[in-house]
């Protein structure tokens, strides 16, 4: 019975007070009066600004729905302001406290910070997991002796801080090797920072590596900027295509490697850095040294642990494993369910030269999986030459031309003859050749069939 008593309920709300549209206090509970240090009898009937000069209630009279406000008078707190309506017409405003006093607020803030910390830890963990599942040594597929030996070297390299120099043709997996060393090492929790010496203009390489001090040049960030060395602190700095490192920068890089400290451009202080260096090259550095295109001293500083990633054509026995792996990978990525791979595919793959190495194989399979119908991957779904072209960068080695010409001729004749048989009907032609219409179009375009 007592509980239906509204006044009794209001008495239990912390800091409850009601004003009318003029700002006159029409209700104030004992707790509120005590909190702001007044007597209820004194407050009732007075303008709220008289009792509580910093009040936000007058402003809040214009609210049409409840709002939460922070206050900092009579202590710190958080209150709720609730407009009161009678038969659709606003008649006043109720205010009561959610938080009274700084202790509660600090405790809340602490709890929230703790919650954010936990959240951050969790996300960091997730990121590390993702990174390590994408780039771990387990993702280096292959059972050949070359790969097994390379994996052993990766494991022992990961236990040291020595510089690693990775040699290998395009698409052999050099970056994968670098990532694996990083994630296996104690530095794996820290940054893996990448710099590609070939992809930035020569005069910016130094800036990227060492950063700059504030006010060095117009347009620069006033606070200065960290370079890759500083960003990689405690982690790994991966310099891709070191053979393209501009000669004038080489002595500065060498100095950083020897002293374990750097100077930002335009700065005078030395900044200590703790960085593990992994570099790749697709040119023979020793020959470059002989031709005065690479500094001798830097070459010797980098030539500590050397990993040679073998080209795919030298380990053809890895092809079935890689093929199955990429088919599974693209099944998942594209929501496909290819469960059978034509034997002829393995046969053809083993007779191909793979100038674009694993990347080329991966691209050929990606395209194949997207063209394949149903659960079967057949020879007709694959377009080796086209895949090869997109897989080989411009400076890569050439495809053996004779085989290619003969193969293209045969393919051109077959397609032209089939088209003639079906009076140019592409759907029927594709069907008869066991390939999709879009692949037929691509082949026709590539082979110059109109």
Ligand X SMILES: Nc1ncnc2c1ncn2[C@@H]1O[C@H](COP(=O)(O)OP(=O)(O)OP(=O)(O)O)[C@@H](O)[C@H]1O
Contact indicator for 339, 375 with CB cutoff of 8 Å: yes
- When asked if residue 236 is in the footprint of ligand X (CB under 6 A), the reply is no
- When asked if residue 20 is in the footprint of Mg ion (CB under 5 A), the reply is no
The conformation of residue 24, written as its DSSP 8-state character, comes to B
Q: Interhelix angle for 174-184 vs 145-158, to 10°?
A: 40
Minimum CB separation of residue 293 from ligand X in Å reads 19
Q: Which of 87, 95, 51 is nearest to 69 (CA)?
A: 95
Shortest-Cβ-distance residue relative to ligand X: 173
Residue with tokens 């494993």: 321
End-to-end Cα distance, the chain: 92
Binding range to ligand X, per CB under 6 A, among 8-16, 134-142, 180-188, 335-343:
134-142
Q: What is the largest CA-CA distance in the chain?
A: 106
Which CB, 295 or 359, lies closer to ligand X? Answer: 359
**Which of 282, 323, 418, 429 forms a contact with ligand X (CB under 6 A)?**
282
The conformation of residue 265, written as its DSSP 8-state character, comes to B
Which CB, 79 or 357, lies closer to Mg ion? Answer: 357
Q: How far is CA 220 from CA 116, 184, 205, 207, in A?
A: 34, 37, 16, 11
Helices (H), 372-436: 384-391, 401-421, 426-433
CA gap 81, 56 in Å, rounded: 9
- When asked if residue 170 is in the footprint of ligand X (CB under 6 A), the reply is yes
**Which of 18, 32, 176, 392 forms a contact with ligand X (CB under 6 A)?**
176
Structure tokens at 424: 């140019």
Binding range to ligand X, per CB under 6 A, among 169-177, 180-188, 267-275, 342-350:
169-177
Size of the site for ligand X (CB under 6 A): 16
Which CB, 175 or 366, lies closer to Mg ion? Answer: 175
278 interacts with, out of ligand X, Mg ion, none, CB within 5 to 8 A per kind: none
- When asked if residue 175 is in the footprint of Mg ion (CB under 5 A), the reply is yes
Which CB, 145 or 221, lies closer to ligand X? Answer: 145
Minimum CB separation of residue 155 from Mg ion in Å reads 21
Give residues with Cβ within 8 angstroms of 441, minimum separation 6: 426
Q: Cα 224 vs. chain centroid, distance in angstroms?
A: 25
Handedness of CA 245, 247, 248, 254 (dihedral sign): positive
Minimum CB separation of residue 431 from ligand X in Å reads 33
Size of the site for Mg ion (CB under 5 A): 1
Minimum CB separation of residue 198 from ligand X in Å reads 10
Show contacts with ligand X in window 349-378 (CB under 6 A): 358-359, 362
Binding range to ligand X, per CB under 6 A, among 8-16, 45-53, 168-176, 333-341:
168-176
Structure tokens at 299: 């070459």
Which CB, 146 or 411, lies closer to ligand X? Answer: 146
At residue 411, what are phi and psi to the nearest 5 degrees?
-65, -40
47 interacts with, out of Mg ion, ligand X, none, CB within 5 to 8 A per kind: none
Pairing of strands 340-341, 376-377: parallel
**Which of 43, 100, 174, 211 forms a contact with ligand X (CB under 6 A)?**
174
Minimum CB separation of residue 337 from ligand X in Å reads 21
Binding range to ligand X, per CB under 6 A, among 77-85, 107-115, 135-143, 409-417:
135-143
- When asked if residue 366 is in the footprint of Mg ion (CB under 5 A), the reply is no
At residue 82, what are phi and psi to the nearest 5 degrees?
-120, 115
170 interacts with, out of ligand X, Mg ion, none, CB within 5 to 8 A per kind: ligand X
Minimum CB separation of residue 359 from ligand X in Å reads 4
Which CB, 135 or 371, lies closer to ligand X? Answer: 135
Which CB, 56 or 151, lies closer to ligand X? Answer: 151
378 interacts with, out of ligand X, Mg ion, none, CB within 5 to 8 A per kind: none
CA gap 210, 271 in Å, rounded: 10
Region of 371 please: left (phi>0), alpha (psi -120 to 50) or beta.
alpha
Which CB, 55 or 172, lies closer to Mg ion? Answer: 172
Collapse the DSSP code of 149 into the 3-class scheme (helix H, G, I; strand E, B; otherwise coil) and give the result. helix
CA gap 229, 275 in Å, rounded: 7
Q: Binding string, 30-59, against ligand X, x = CB under 6 A?
A: ------------------------------
CA 300, 306, 307 angle in degrees (round to 5)?
A: 155
Contact indicator for 249, 206 with CB cutoff of 8 Å: yes
- Residue 67: in which H helix or E strand, if any? strand 67-72
359 interacts with, out of Mg ion, ligand X, none, CB within 5 to 8 A per kind: ligand X
Binding range to ligand X, per CB under 6 A, among 15-23, 110-118, 172-180, 384-392:
172-180
* Site residues (vs Mg ion, CB under 5 A): 175
* Site residues (vs ligand X, CB under 6 A): 139-142, 168, 170-176, 282, 358-359, 362
């Amino acid at each position: 019975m007592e509980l239906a008593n509204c006044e009794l309920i209001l008495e239990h709300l912390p800091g409850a007070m009601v004003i009318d549209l003029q700002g006159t206090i029409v209700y104030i509970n004992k707790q509120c009066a005590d909190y702001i240090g007044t007597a209820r009898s004194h407050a009732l009937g007075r303008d709220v600004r008289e009792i509580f000069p910093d009040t936000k209630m007058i402003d809040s009279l214009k609210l049409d729905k409840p709002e939460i406000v922070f206050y900092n008078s009579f202590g710190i707190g958080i209150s709720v302001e609730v407009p009161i309506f009678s038969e659709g017409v606003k008649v006043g405003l109720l205010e009561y406290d959610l938080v009274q006093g700084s202790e509660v607020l600090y405790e809340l803030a602490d709890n929230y910070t703790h919650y954010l910390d936990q959240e951050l830890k969790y996300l960091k963990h997730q990121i590390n997991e993702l990174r390590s599942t994408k780039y771990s040594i387990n993702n280096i597929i292959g059972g050949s002796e070359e790969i097994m030996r390379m994996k052993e070297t990766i494991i022992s390299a990961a236990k040291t801080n020595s510089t690693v120099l990775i040699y290998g043709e395009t698409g052999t997996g050099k970056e994968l090797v670098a990532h694996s060393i990083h994630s296996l090492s104690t530095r794996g929790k820290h940054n893996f920072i990448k710099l590609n010496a070939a992809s930035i203009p020569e005069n910016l390489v130094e800036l990227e590596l060492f950063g700059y001090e504030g006010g060095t040049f117009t347009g620069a960030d006033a606070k200065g900027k960290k370079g890759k060395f500083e960003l990689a602190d405690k982690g790994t700095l991966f310099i891709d295509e070191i053979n393209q490192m501009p000669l004038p920068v080489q002595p500065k890089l060498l100095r950083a490697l020897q002293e374990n400290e750097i100077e930002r451009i335009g700065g005078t202080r030395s900044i200590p850095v703790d960085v593990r260096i992994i570099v790749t090259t697709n040119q023979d550095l020793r020959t470059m040294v002989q031709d005065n295109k690479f500094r001798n001293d830097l070459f010797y500083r980098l030539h500590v642990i050397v990993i040679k990633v073998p080209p795919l054509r030298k380990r053809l026995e890895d092809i079935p494993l890689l093929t199955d792996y990429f088919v599974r990978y693209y099944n998942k990525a594209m929501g496909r369910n290819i469960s059978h791979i034509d034997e002829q595919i393995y046969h053809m793959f083993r007779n191909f030269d793979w100038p674009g190495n694993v990347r080329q194989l991966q691209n050929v399979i990606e395209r194949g999986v997207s063209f394949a119908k149903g659960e079967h991957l057949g020879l007709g779904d694959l377009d080796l030459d086209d895949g090869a072209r997109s897989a080989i960068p411009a400076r890569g080695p050439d495809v053996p031309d004779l085989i290619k010409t003969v193969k293209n001729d045969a393919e051109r004749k077959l397609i032209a003859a089939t088209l003639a048989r079906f009076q140019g009907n592409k759907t029927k032609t594709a069907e008869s050749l066991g390939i999709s219409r879009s692949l037929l179009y691509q082949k026709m375009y590539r082979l110059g069939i109109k």
